[in-house]
Structure 1
């Protein structure tokens, strides 16, 4: 039997020891592994979790999961069978830490002067990692070619964005905690394992047993056995957030939707269905459920031609459970209750009284009905995904047919929720909005007012008593919220006819603005580039020393995707404007702020100043902020 090494802590010394003791030079990501795919949300969660652990107990080891390895004797490296997304993210975090002066990362990042991490048959990714070792990665898009996985570039921006919010001492402490206390459990596969079969089995088994499966079993065990089946079916329907809840319930769609319209009177009829007693699900059957989760469930429907519609949820099921728990515990101190999915079981063990299991599942069902009726979902279309709120409507009073459809009055609510979703964490707004619906009813006009109040409160928290100009004029360090928030206000005022500013000339501009969609863009675009490949822009008389730093002011900035940022590169403003018009005519507006900036045909300093004044006036008017002095009187704020 092949000896399996002991778990290896994630520290540079130990990783270096793995290479030396096993004659291994690097870690390799095999060709059958998918491309790196972690986005801003996953990266930010990892960094926040580690920072919280470092602040709470800096001397205690913090485990972040497993990594499965196999010793490749031919190439003398460790092939990463499972855990490549996490390890790649750790390498990128280390490269950013090293670039800003944090010490001690070389033993983890480097092997014989080259990156410790390698990519089989993806040389462009290897070249990118190699370029980071000696590069100043303030703007990684400048050092990549068109074949690179741009998600890595965006990952670096997300890491730097997170670290900018920390002081120098906090960053050093976080760096040291990563190197000394963050651990991964290394699992070494024996030489006898058929790697292709192992990888295939790992993919085919679907989702493993998850925390919400364990929670389901625990709650059902405290419910009358005669009712367990009905409650279990409700739980399963609520858990499928990739579809509307009626698809997971017994019965036809119109029948279910008619019952869902009247929550208070008829909600219990769902729980009583099938309540003829059943055995409590065992661990074995729950694992079976986990394996089946994610596969499309086959159900009998009244309409055999019905196609199950898939939608995208703004929260996952464990997060939804924790949001609902906070609302269930109304009146109790839940300040320490996190809504992060990995805290699900801890949250329920700490705050929940198990004797309330039946009441909680009924509450959970009510929350899910309100969620489907009043909150955005992402819907895939031929033009890409879009945000919609689809409530249940009876289209013809003479017919017993109920459908999910959008209402015209929903547009403002859709855009405001979409803006909050891409710019902030759900914990800042989702729980409060859902609480309003539970407590005061489901009037969507009132919900829009409540969300507007929440949004203004978020803005005031981001300002923290500072002047608006001081938080906006920070180049790539400007909080992304302000770009998203401005785009929402521009869309709202333009569609209601109250905004009278020139906009770039594009095909069907009225329709394109009306159909503007919020995307999870993270890249700050400098309209006049920081490192131009042409002569300096035209200027007007401005204070001495301002010309170079004015590029980082809010008037010269916009928020776009990393792909677009790389495409614009260091072109002149005129070239970028033409490129923006071409892209917009083809696929829609990416940034409303940019569309109004390019309403100025000649991007001079004067145009930038005017655009900044216009945009700040829009923000001040919406948030009821006082007027400020002329924008150049105090000079720009540097990064």
Structure 2
């Protein structure tokens, strides 16, 4: 291996280069969870699909996916100390080990003969090294859930294993692996040997963020407005665009606070709770009437070319001595770049263009070039592109206002953070957060909150939030947003996902579910999609919990009444795959039956994974006695165990049939209500 300062490696070449990489003590422990791992796999799959669709005339370079940078320092003994990129490298190594283990299974055709050892080691962390060795040896995961091994690495491996099982069920593992090892590329940067590492880390910490894609996009969109011939129109448009962009970019702050008081009144009404403008023209007119001369002057200074933005002094350095701004009260479920793509899809629907946006911020600039800037469409009329930008900025402002008012967010206003749906309301000259829905609709409002939270925890990644696009689309289309109508729309969307995709052999595309006019046919649940390893999305479990909650009605059961969705990603066998008693294992069909499965947190799965059902019941009894539980499905399983004093084939089948009845009853309601166009999403 050469000591070139910058080298690119295919993933397979990175593992085959015989170089030893060390994760030093000063680096934090492995910390990637479900969100980061799922996002990594989705990214690779997304680029793989793009490659499959490439024209033959495109070069091999276009087919590569540059996954990131690995910054290393060569030690005196020749090993490479990882300075930056250790989380990604560790995950890729875990993935290679996972695929190696899968290649030994008879039912899977996968050549991993080249991978017999890993080249990653940990300084003064024997647990981590032992965990890697045990995983490569093929030790059963239940044996690794002890204090001798690194629980975070085991959990990461389990998440990767689950992701690979989904790909296997889609018959796509060989194609995925071929792309992973041959087309996914990592850039290795070797810092000079005479580098003062302490100084290097200080520079890294103070360098500020690189120019992000959404900042580049902002410059490109503003450059379009900068070519407006009418000076007054140009000034107003650019000022408005800058104001809207800056007001919406902070997803944790309500959009009204992004404007001065005078603009809040004219755009959002006297109580700041309405959206006054009807379209882009009326918004520009409202804004122009109230624009102040100093803001007119500043609009030109606000416009910066990309080259000027690249030259700017990072805020983290320029304001090094200033106090950090106090954190916002709310935490958003999505970031700004992915929100821009959500809005782009809404904007396209308003222009009657039946085109599908990739809801993934990796493709942010490409998607806007295609749909707003009309790149690749010959020489489009410049006026058309200008109108596109103006129309989009109106849609962006309206969508952010809707998002703030009607989409669930994490609320840190109390001692214990919670989920909430709140709107901003003006009292004299200050704003206050109040419940979006009135207290006389408490029950239906609670169902809205629960259902939306169920959607979110099922898809915790920032990209590919199709449910959010469906909700925003309905909210954008409907001026009257009563809590009852909103609930009906959300449940209609949930039922589409469940009955026309997750439990349906046809597996209809998300875009068609949201924007198409799919016929609601009578069908039987595809039970093969309810067995372990075949469940496409955790929303199947979470929506079932929601149905259990609704079915209980006004029950006094405090566990059901107090139920809230949390981040739970581990599919647990209540009767374990590896039980602690001899000759106690069920047949595979019963073991992997939906009646024996529930959703719990990965940490709890690590603690109780191979215990007997009675021991798992005892583990959860303390929570149940305080009125809490991870999942209502698990709660019903524990209650059935209590009633029958056993958990075996009979109980598993009974519970499965009870859960199927809930799904089937809900489908009948879906079928009956599908004729009501007022709730179509």
For the aligned pair, the TM-score class normalised by the smaller chain equals 0.7 to 0.9
Q: SS of the residue aligned with 1:366?
A: helix
**Equivalent pair of 1:109/1:116 in contact (CA under 8 Å):** no
Residue 334 of structure 1: how far off its partner (Å): 5.1
From 49, 53, 57, give the equivalent of 2:51. 57
Whole-Å separation in 1 of the counterparts to 2:416 and 2:593: 32
- What's 1:366 paired with? 398
Range with bigger deviation, 232-241 or 251-260: 251-260
Equivalence map 1:286-325=2 (5 Å) = 286-287=309-310, 291-292=314-315, 309-325=328-344
- What's 1:215 paired with? 217
Residue 455 of structure 1: how far off its partner (Å): 0.8
Q: Does 1:225 align with 2:235?
A: yes
Equivalence map 1:349-498=2 (5 Å) = 349-353=369-373, 354-355=385-386, 356-380=388-412, 384-393=416-425, 402-406=431-435, 407=437, 408=439, 409=441, 410-424=445-459, 426-441=464-479, 442-460=481-499, 461-465=501-505, 467-468=524-525, 470-471=527-528, 473-479=530-536, 480-494=538-552, 496-497=553-554
Range with bigger deviation, 120-129 or 4-13: 4-13
- What's 1:609 paired with? 653
Whole-Å separation in 1 of the counterparts to 2:320 and 2:533: 45
- What's 1:128 paired with? 131
- What's 1:632 paired with? none
* Per-residue deviation, residues 492-524 of structure 1 (Å, max 9, x unmatched): 232x33x7xxxxxxxx952x5333222231212
Range with bigger deviation, 93-102 or 165-174: 165-174
Residue 34 of structure 1: how far off its partner (Å): 2.5
**For residues 596 and 327 of structure 1, do their structure 2 counterparts lie closer, same or farther at Cα, with a shift above 3 Å needed?**
same
Residue 135 of structure 1: how far off its partner (Å): 0.9
- What's 1:159 paired with? 160
- What's 2:36 paired with? 42
**For residues 80 and 109 of structure 1, do their structure 2 counterparts lie closer, same or farther at Cα, with a shift above 3 Å needed?**
farther
Range with bigger deviation, 602-611 or 144-153: 144-153
- What's 1:263 paired with? 275
**Equivalent pair of 2:70/2:186 in contact (CA under 8 Å):** no
Whole-Å separation in 2 of the counterparts to 1:15 and 1:215: 36
- What's 1:562 paired with? 602
Range with bigger deviation, 58-67 or 79-88: 58-67
Q: Does 1:245 align with 2:255?
A: yes
Residue 359 of structure 1: how far off its partner (Å): 2.7
Whole-Å separation in 2 of the counterparts to 1:293 and 1:222: 30
Equivalence map 1:510-521=2 (5 Å) = 510=558, 512-521=559-568
Equivalence map 1:494-505=2 (5 Å) = 494=552, 496-497=553-554
Residue 270 of structure 1: how far off its partner (Å): 6.0
From 258, 283, 300, give the equivalent of 1:278. 300
**For residues 339 and 482 of structure 1, do their structure 2 counterparts lie closer, same or farther at Cα, with a shift above 3 Å needed?**
same
Count matched residues. 586
Residue 134 of structure 1: how far off its partner (Å): 1.4
- What's 1:631 paired with? none
From 623, 635, 639, give the equivalent of 2:667. 623
Q: Tell me the TM-score normalized by structure 1.
A: 0.82
Whole-Å separation in 2 of the counterparts to 1:337 and 1:167: 27
* Per-residue deviation, residues 120-146 of structure 1 (Å, max 9, x unmatched): 233222221111111166xx3542323
**For residues 565 and 3 of structure 1, do their structure 2 counterparts lie closer, same or farther at Cα, with a shift above 3 Å needed?**
closer
Structure 2's unaligned 5+ residue stretches are: 53-59, 104-108, 226-233, 374-384, 506-522, 671-681
Q: Does 1:531 align with 2:578?
A: yes
- What's 2:377 paired with? none
* Per-residue deviation, residues 176-224 of structure 1 (Å, max 9, x unmatched): 2222222112111111222222223223334221000011112222332
Whole-Å separation in 2 of the counterparts to 1:586 and 1:149: 31
Q: SS of the residue aligned with 1:118?
A: strand
Residue 92 of structure 1: how far off its partner (Å): 1.6
Q: Does 1:341 align with 2:366?
A: no
**For residues 400 and 73 of structure 1, do their structure 2 counterparts lie closer, same or farther at Cα, with a shift above 3 Å needed?**
closer
Whole-Å separation in 2 of the counterparts to 1:469 and 1:103: 29
Whole-Å separation in 1 of the counterparts to 2:35 and 2:611: 30
When the two chains are superposed, the root-mean-square deviation of aligned CA atoms in Å is: 3.5
Residue 446 of structure 1: how far off its partner (Å): 1.5
Residue 261 of structure 1: how far off its partner (Å): 1.7
**Equivalent pair of 1:51/1:174 in contact (CA under 8 Å):** yes
**Equivalent pair of 2:15/2:119 in contact (CA under 8 Å):** no
Q: SS of the residue aligned with 1:57?
A: helix
**For residues 288 and 377 of structure 1, do their structure 2 counterparts lie closer, same or farther at Cα, with a shift above 3 Å needed?**
farther
Whole-Å separation in 2 of the counterparts to 1:287 and 1:348: 21
